Amino acid sequence: MIKLRITFLSALIAGVAFAAPALALDNPMMVDLHAVNGAQRQASATIFGSGSTVLVNVTAQRAPKAAAVTLNDGDCAKPGDIAFALSALDDNQSLTKLEHPLADIAVKAKSMVIHQTSSLTSPAFACGNVSS
């Protein structure tokens, strides 16, 4: 399943990069997510895009099954409102395509939250501040 996701991700990147040769992938934003009640890293994410399309790839370790993943407008100390709801984790992976320029994501998303359940309103399992 992971190999299939990596192949799919590679194909999406190639499609974005080669479908419009004049467009280059923007600088990616990286996120390290840590357990809410501990310092251990639970997941990592890469947010990258070209033009008006952004891909968000999340890889987690030992995360709750089918956990909701969101980009929020506050930092991990106070995540605030959901700016973007992402695909739920499936086998500790999530890949989401957003139809927004990377610059919009950078302005609106200050943190990424992996929730304890599939509900977008469930408490955070892990959180990471988004940095460009």
| Res. 99 pLDDT band, cuts 50 70 90 | very high
d(CA 21, CA 115): 37
The pTM assigned to this predicted structure is 0.80
Helix, strand or coil, per DSSP, at residue 92: coil
Instruction: Tell me the residue type at 6.
Output: I
Give tens-digit pLDDT for 32-53: 999 997 768 889 999 999 889 9
* Partners of 55 in beta bridges: 48, 97
